[in-house]
Amino acid sequence: MRYLFLLLLISFNTCFFAQNNTCNKAKKFSHKTKSNTLPLNYIQETEKYDVTFYELDLNANNMNTNLSGRVQMSAIANQDLDTVVFELFPSYKINYILINQDTANYSWRNTGVHCRVNVKKGEKFTIITCYSGKSPDQTTNPLGGAGYTQKQSPSWKKNVSWTLSEPFSAYEWFPCKQSLTDKIDSVSVKITVPDSCKAGSNGILQQVVGLPNNQKRYEWKHNQPIDYYLISFSVANYIDYSIYSYPKNSDSILIQNYVYPNSLNNFKSIIDNTAKFIEYYSDIYTLYPFNKEKYGHCMAPISGGMEHQTMTTLGYFDNELVAHELAHQWWGDHVTCGSWSDIWLNEGFATYSEYLMLAKLFPGDEKAKLSNIHSSVLSVNNGSTWVKDSLNENSIFSKTLVYDKGAAIIHTLRYIINNDDLFFKALQDFQTNFAFKTANAKDFKKSVEKSTNIDLTNFFNEWYYGEGYPTYAAKLTSKTDNKVELTITQKGSALSITPLFSNPIDILISRTNKSDTLIRVNIESNIQKISFSTDLGLKEVIEIDPNNFIVNHVDQFTNHIDTMKDNILIYPNPTQDIINIEMKNPMIAFVKLISIDGKTVLKKSFSQETQLDIHNQPTGNYLLIIENEGTIFEQKITKN
């Protein structure tokens, strides 16, 4: 057996170093956690084991997308196994596969590699895959092609090769299991590159080993749980610009940046801001989760960034982009969405973290940020933040619904909780409860409800699973010696799906001989009447939701108190079919009847008297509105 092992080891080394000279080197409310590349029965096979460790030992360079080397997967069986299935794109050549150091029998069916094994439940096993070839692009894999890419930066004229596996492209560059809920305990990434290049990756750089033929091997090790799509490397002619962050109650944290040499002067001040961002997020979310290792950046010619665990890949440095990708280290990496349907837990919170960073470090700039977020959401009338089709990348990464509306509803949640200390404590509790695990929106809901003792059922049904946004209108409808009545009406943009948004709203009002004041109104129906004591001095409505906590449109304010009340007779009420309207003093008026869901059922003009026939309308309550030259009279009508 010793002699056989030595032969296999020699074979492996031959595979690994063979191409050194040529530098070979992105039911309702149910959750779908599957790859878009494997059929369901193959996916079920991958769930029969849990991955505990990957060791990647690869050759790469910055001039092409050729890869060669080996990947060791260590795993534990969840049940007795006679077959293990993992993924690898078929553009590669498999030189051999070893299972527990023995040569394995395997078959390759499309992207699924099926290996014969004899493993009992609870037993550990290892699979070593030695492979080589060129990674796919969009020509060879129309559904992906972004797993491993090589390009020249158009701005900095540097050649770069980099990986981007989210959501389903890890198999395009290494043999793996693509399951969100199976976090790997640790990972080792060793990349052999030309000695003119550096290779950045996850965790701590253990050593750089000089090799023959002008090669170097960068050996990185990450010792904390990581999801498959967050494993990465980048190769380029980088320089290392490292700084440190100093969060409270922590040792210093290394921020290791692999940047193009000719870009540093342009980006140095923003890179330096990363330290402040880590310190701030450590205050509000919990200590940076990977403080024992590092944070960092690798530059690559991409349009934005990708939150690879402990070392983000990004195209440029901008305060909001850097803050967004850093926030993912908590929201996406420390706690990872357990389903692509719930990508909100990653992207919504990272986007909202941009707003929080601006409010803290660049006060005043956050207002424009929030306004832009709301404008984006208001550009579409429907669609939910929860992703119905978790295999559709356009839906998963919808800027309007996942990123922007996702951030906006977190701001609404903060308003509903109405206590910033409690709000941030709830976020910290969630980070603590699901540390290094996966979670879905239901988990988040339960965690926040426990932290705040607030029932969030309506919030999630209306804002997360629901669609659209409300349009509000406010009217002063009556006045007596003791009270003033204010009517708030609401209509949803996706009325048939989400008929009511029951969150409270703030209304800014002016008062007679008193300062303006803000009142919070609880919303329970589409037509909400609120009475105020005349002592409040309510004069007129100035603004609805002045602090922009709610994504909404405002239709109109009507600040005229009814003067037609004594001039109008309406009967019978309740009625079964006919509503008679009579005026003592003739005037041109407009009448409309509005259903409880905000729809206009009937409307017409008249001068002295008229009838409304509602025998075809459903039973229930309606709002009758009569208007003349800006003066409005309203009355509730009941149809039996």
The domain ranges of the chain are 2-237, 337-464, 470-558, 565-639
Least Cα distance to 177 among 34, 78, 352 occurs for 34
Instruction: Work out the pLDDT band at 366, boundaries 50, 70, 90.
Output: very high
In this prediction, residues 353-382 reach a mean pLDDT of: 97
Residue 581's pLDDT is 92
Q: Are 388 and 344 in contact (CB under 8 A)?
A: no
Which 8-state DSSP code applies to residue 564?
Answer: -
CATH code at 2-237: 2.60.40.1730
What is the arrangement of strands in the sheet containing 295-299, beginning at the earlier edge strand?
239-245, 253-259, 295-299, 312-314, 305-306
Least Cα distance to 171 among 370, 37, 344 occurs for 37
Q: Are 188 and 221 in contact (CB under 8 A)?
A: yes
CA dihedral 435, 436, 438, 440 (to 10 degrees): 30
624 — phi, psi (to 5°)? -95, 125
Q: Per-residue pLDDT for 12 more than 50?
A: no
d(CA 94, CA 206): 28
Query: Residue 483: helix, strand or coil by DSSP?
Result: strand
Q: What is the pLDDT of residues 82-103, one digit of tens each?
A: 999 999 999 999 999 999 999 9
438 — phi, psi (to 5°)? -110, 155
d(CA 295, CA 275): 10
d(CA 575, CA 569): 14
Q: Which residues of 323-357 are buried (b: 16+ CB within 10 A; e: fewer)?
A: bbbbbbbbbbbbbbbbbbbbbbbbbbbbbbbbbbb
- What kind and span of H or E run contains 406? helix 405-417
Tokens of 566: 């004594």
Residue 220's pLDDT is 98
Q: What is the pLDDT of residues 46-83, one digit of tens each?
A: 999 999 999 999 999 999 999 999 999 999 999 999 99
- What kind and span of H or E run contains 157? none
CATH code at 470-558: 2.60.40.1840
Q: Among 152-166, 167-181, 469-483, whose mean pLDDT is lowest? A: 469-483
**Type of residue numbered 167:** P
CATH 1.10.390.10 corresponds to the domain 337-464: yes
CATH architecture for segment(s) 565-639: Sandwich (2.60)
Asked if the domains at 337-464 and 470-558 fall in one CATH topology, the answer is: no
Q: What is the pLDDT of residues 446-491, one digit of tens each?
A: 999 999 999 999 999 999 999 999 999 988 876 666 788 888 999 9
